[in-house]
Amino acid sequence: MVSVISNTNSEWSETIQNLISSDSPIQPVASSPTSSTTLSSSSMTSVVSLAPTCLKQTIMEAASAIAEGKTDVANGILTRLAQDSNAKGNSEQRLVACMLLALKLWVNSIENLPPVAELFSKEHVVATQLLYDLSPYFKLGFLGANPDILDATREQPSCNKLHIIDFDIGKGMSYINLLQALSERRSGKPTLVKITAIADNGGDERVKMVGDKLSQIAERFRVCMKFNVVASLKLSDLSRESLGYEPDEPLAINFAFNLYRMPDESISVENQRDELLRRVKGLAPSVVTLVEHEMNTNTALFASRVREASAYYGALFDSIEFSVPREKSKRVTVEEGLCRKIANSVSCEGRERVERCKVFGK
């Protein structure tokens, strides 16, 4: 995961420190989803019995055999992997179970292509939000956008307004910290915060509920807040008028885990991703914040996607292993969602692949 912001701010250090040291049964390891995980406590050595590189190397051997059309060799390796996979085992075994499913779906893609609709279902939305709630990586990513949003208001000290346009607000939890920070300012006059949330796929009622909760919190912090929902906004309709943006407002655009699903030039000449960015640039915002997964499952070939997914999601499984008890039903829901993501990014091609994460700079 990468948060593209230009500044850090000391006023958030305490919040982030509290987040890292939150009450959890087992402390999460200090690693990122793009790097391997090292056990930091001898008491945890019984959890992982094999070095992560062993099974991950076997996964890559299977991917290479599949890519080279060596069906018999690939099937033999997949059979060995099946013996080491366990959806209820340790983090490595659970990753293998998901990767094994993705590889088998690729081999039998004509008959068993995973339905894209699953990634837009209510169940998957719930699983994704739970992942954001349970993983410190994602919490820090969301919070990382706040300092730059605050800086946008400091650039116009005489202005007591702030307008935030959020293209995927989720549960809106990161804005609680932002509202609190605004309430602690002593500018002599109240701050008016406008949050415009873009709702797609019939999610406007859910987003309205998020707005109601944030309004209650803003009232508690004595911050004036207006919350607007824009439902099913077409790119061609994205304008100052449709978003209710006034020229005297410092404008912040927040993209959190949103752009990676938008088709780019590798999918369509229409290139919806770049078109959105051009229209956002036309709004002349004070700041644009971007939080994304950092791995290449967009234009990478099959074997490379397997390698990227194995490393990235392997670290996520590890972090969940060390921070959430196995018996929790929420953990099962989260990991089922991760398996759907893995299956789509590895086994699907063309428009069917919506999990198209990119590396920084792309």
The structural domains of the chain, ordered by start, are: 50-135+299-352 (no CATH), 156-249+251-285 (3.40.50)
The predicted pLDDT at position 53 comes to: 55
Is this model's pTM higher than 0.85 or not? no
The mean pLDDT value for 259-279 works out to 89
Q: What is the pLDDT of residues 165-203, one digit of tens each?
A: 999 898 898 899 999 988 887 665 667 899 999 987 667
Confidence of residue 110 (pLDDT cuts 50, 70, 90): low
Cα–Cα distance between 315 and 298 in angstroms, integer?
20
The predicted pLDDT at position 191 comes to: 78
Mean predicted lDDT score pLDDT of the chain: 82
The predicted pLDDT at position 16 comes to: 36
DSSP 63-74: HHHHHTT-HHHH
Distances, alpha carbon 265 to alpha carbons 188, 269, 288, in Å: 49, 5, 22
Comparison of pLDDT for 38 and 224, the residue scoring more? 224
185, with CB counted inside 10 A (0-12, 13-18, 19+), is: middle
Q: Record the tokens describing residue 259, joined without a space.
A: 């752009």
Q: What is the pLDDT of residues 277-320, one digit of tens each?
A: 999 999 999 999 998 898 999 889 999 999 999 999 999 999 99
Strand order in the sheet with 251-256: 2-4, 287-292, 251-256, 161-166, 192-199, 224-231
3-state secondary structure of 60: helix
Cα–Cα distance between 283 and 71 in angstroms, integer?
53
The mean pLDDT value for 209-229 works out to 94
Q: What is the pLDDT of residues 118-164, one digit of tens each?
A: 998 989 989 999 999 888 888 888 888 899 888 877 776 667 889 99
The predicted pLDDT at position 25 comes to: 38
